[in-house]
Amino acid sequence: MTSAPVLVTGASGFVGLSVLEHLLALGRDVVALSSSLLPLTAVKRLAAQPGRLVERLGDIREPADIRQALAAAPVTGIIHLAAVTSGIAMEAERAWDSVTVNLGGLTRLLRGMAEAGVPRLVLASSVAVYGASTPDGEWLDEERPTAPATLYAITKASGETLSAHLAASLGLDCRIGRLGRVFGPMEYESGVRDTLSQIHTVTTRAKAGLHAHLPRPCLKNWHYAADAAASLVALLDLPAPLHTLYNLGTPHVFALADWCARLREVYPRFSFSVGDTDRAAPADIIDLWGRSDGGLLSWQRFAAEANMPCHHFDAAFDDYMQRVSGP
């Protein structure tokens, strides 16, 4: 499995791009399936890697597009990232796409795998399945009950149940990896995510010399995209996992305010503030997606079985800055 070609769905999203880069850097053959072309800013970097990339445009809801992607290489494993990520403000308007892509597309993919004889799937799920009311700073492990509170979280929780059920019926090996608050230098407006990460937002404002106001420091175990990608690939390659479900968090916890402080060192015209929003300009306020930070996605179960790369705060910041440097 460690040298076999891999299909990555949702490949044009920023996590998908990180997965492509990781696989190609390992010399793997990769089929990238997405509904939009890979961004030009990433194509050159991907082309410099030793692996071979085959790009396929298609809709994960269309069986013919899935068949075409699976026929592009002798794929034996899939990392499934294709999803519509709707914020609360847009979830009603985008409900049809969210449900049909996040659940209908998953169903079509599992059927396509069974028909093509592709045995193994890693389904990317989300910390969002735990809901918004988890205590700040509490570690959320795999045994904690889920309580999805948004349409996106509902589709992710339902996708976990659906994939486990159908995989068993179809004789497939399905592993589920929950991701936390992922950020990375290849993040961009893809059209399927209503809101970008707060780290992307404050970094963009810093580069422009603008002010950012944080309602609170926002302490999370933020997950660098390169590490999240490596964890998904490691989960795919595990020869005999002890579990079906793994939280793919990171032990490194830091505040968004810490990131802003480092940004100020790089971009002297940038400024930020933390606290009450009454006196802050509305355009400066960073949306932290709720009134509390909530729990931290655990990592111990997965780390006990696989090599789990983790950039600590300074390493992630330095690599991110190197990647996004420029005007």
Q: Is 317 helix (H, G, I), strand (E, B) or coil?
A: helix
SS3 helix, strand, coil % of the chain, rounded to 5? 40, 20, 45
Dihedral sign for Cα atoms in the order 92, 8, 226, 238: positive
Confidence check: pLDDT of 1 > 70: no
Looking at residue 303, its pLDDT comes to 97
Q: How many Å apart are CA 162 and CA 16, to the nearest integer?
A: 22
Looking at residue 293, its pLDDT comes to 96
Looking at residue 86, its pLDDT comes to 77
> 118-154: per-residue pLDDT in tens?
999 999 999 999 998 999 999 999 999 999 999 999 9
Q: Is 152 helix (H, G, I), strand (E, B) or coil?
A: helix
> 157-187: per-residue pLDDT in tens?
999 999 999 999 999 999 999 999 999 999 9
> 212-227: per-residue pLDDT in tens?
999 999 999 999 999 9
Confidence check: pLDDT of 327 > 80: no
pTM score of the predicted model: 0.96
> 75-111: per-residue pLDDT in tens?
999 999 999 987 777 788 889 999 999 999 999 999 9
Looking at residue 168, its pLDDT comes to 97
Q: How many Å apart are CA 19 and CA 109, to the nearest integer?
A: 19
| Domains of the chain in sequence order | 6-186+221-252+295-313 (3.40.50.720)
The residue-averaged pLDDT of 196-202 equals: 96
Looking at residue 325, its pLDDT comes to 81
> 270-307: per-residue pLDDT in tens?
999 999 999 999 999 999 999 999 999 999 999 999 98
Looking at residue 40, its pLDDT comes to 93
What single string gives the DSSP state of each residue in 33-101?
Answer: EESSPPPHHHHHHHHTSSS-EEEEE--TT-HHHHHHHHTTTT--EEEE----B--TTTTTTTHHHHHII
Closest-CA residue to 268 (of 209, 200, 323): 209
Confidence check: pLDDT of 326 > 60: no
Higher per-residue confidence, 4 vs 298: 298
Strands 219-220 and 182-183: unpaired
Share of the chain above pLDDT 70, in %: 98
Looking at residue 192, its pLDDT comes to 65
